Amino acid sequence: MLRFVLNRFLAMILTLWVIATLTFLLMHAIPGSPFNNLNGKVLSDAAVKNLEAHYHIDQPLPIQYFIYLKSIATFTYGPSIKQPAQTVNDLLGRGFPVSFELGMWALVVAVLTGVLLGIFAALKHNGLIDYLAMTLAVLGISIPNFVLATLLIQEFAVNLHLLPAGTWQGLSYMIMPIIALATGPMAIIARLIRSSMLEVLTQDYIRTAQAKGLPPFIIVMKHALKNALLPVVTVLGTLAASILTGTFVIEKIFAIPGMGKYFVDSINSRDYPVIMGTTMFYSALLILMLFLVDLAYGWLDPRIKQSKEGSK
């Protein structure tokens, strides 16, 4: 197990280095300077040169690359170009908690509703509930979250006046963004749980439990669900990544003061420190989540542990 953790840690470091290098090269492949039109102001050549020197953009690319890697290692990304009074760390500290809260609520809702929907669909296989659940799942997968967000605003905020259309001030403001983010992952989880549960319910140990007269609820929750969850665990890291990155678009639509606003604005203004700092922060977070999912999968399925021990 220790060897597995060490190998995965080294792979995480290598992956982060590749992401950091690609981000650096792609940002510097864009022609021009981020100071040509700073906050709507046209600066003189002398002012542009001074700003480029301040942010080390006038240095050769290898030196800029070394400074960039050093900032990643020390987690000090420096000041924002668009908001020089704010560092990238300040923006992350202000915006990430909002994005994280939105993403985690959406993930919890997606997992709970997806698992319940999949269980009911499997127990009522080829029945009305099964068809309705799978129809909902297909729609959830087919409709992009930004389209669903627009439809929710139009119906519940504009037409019915039931929910506020934007910002992040309380529970009622969270409902539509969470639904928009959670629907797609919920649909994927529901389909996985349904197919996995149908397979598990045909196993001999389930028939034995039924022969003992155990209630269906106990059979499902105590004996079938753990094995049925294995396919969900394998995609949970990917779904969490899609939700956290999907918050960027949803935050922009609902005017939520999270990292999405800062990241989109930084791309439009070519704010190098914010773009690269945000990219690396989210990359590290998502890679860590995938690592934790691998550990959880090994805990749920003892065969994974045995295969790792046998490979030593």
Q: Where are the alpha helices (DSSP H) in 201-301?
A: 204-211, 216-218, 225-228, 230-254, 259-269, 272-300
CA 161 – CA 28 distance, rounded (Å): 46
CB neighbours of residue 92 within 10 Å: 20
Q: In the structure encoding, which two tokens stand for residue 38, read together? A: 């700073």
The CA angle 289-86-94, to the nearest 5 degrees, is 40
State whether the Cα torsion 249-252-255-260 is positive or negative: positive
Along the 312 residues of the chain, how does pLDDT read in single tens digits?
A: 678 778 888 888 999 999 999 999 988 887 767 777 666 677 777 888 888 888 888 889 899 999 999 988 888 888 888 888 889 999 999 999 999 999 999 999 999 999 999 999 998 888 998 999 999 999 999 999 999 999 999 999 999 989 998 888 888 899 999 999 999 999 999 999 999 999 998 888 888 888 888 888 888 888 888 888 888 888 888 888 888 888 888 998 998 988 888 888 888 788 888 988 999 998 988 888 888 877 776 666 655 554 544 544
- What is the pLDDT, as a whole number, of residue 303? 55
User: Rounded distance, CA 181 to CA 114, Å?
Assistant: 13
60 burial via Cβ count (<10 Å: 0-12, 13-18, 19+) = exposed
Q: Whose CA is closest to 274, among 1, 29, 87, 67?
A: 87
25-35 b/e (C-beta count within 10 Å ≥ 16 → b): eebeeeeebbb
Task: Report the C-alpha gap between 39 and 35 in whole angstroms.
Answer: 9
DSSP letter (8 states) at residue 201: T
What is 91-270's CATH number?
Answer: 1.10.3720.10
Contact call for residues 78 and 273 (beta carbons, < 8 A): yes
Asked if 82 and 38 touch (Cβ cutoff 8 Å), the reply is: yes
- Name the DSSP class of 42: P
At which residue do the structure tokens 């050769």 appear?
Answer: 60
**pLDDT at residue 234, rounded to an integer:** 80
pLDDT of 192 reads: 93
Q: In the structure, how many helices (H) and strands (E) does the chain have?
A: 14, 0
Structure tokens belonging to residue 193: 């749980």
Note the pLDDT of residue 152.
94
Distance, first Cα to last Cα, the chain: 9
Residue 301: what pLDDT? 61
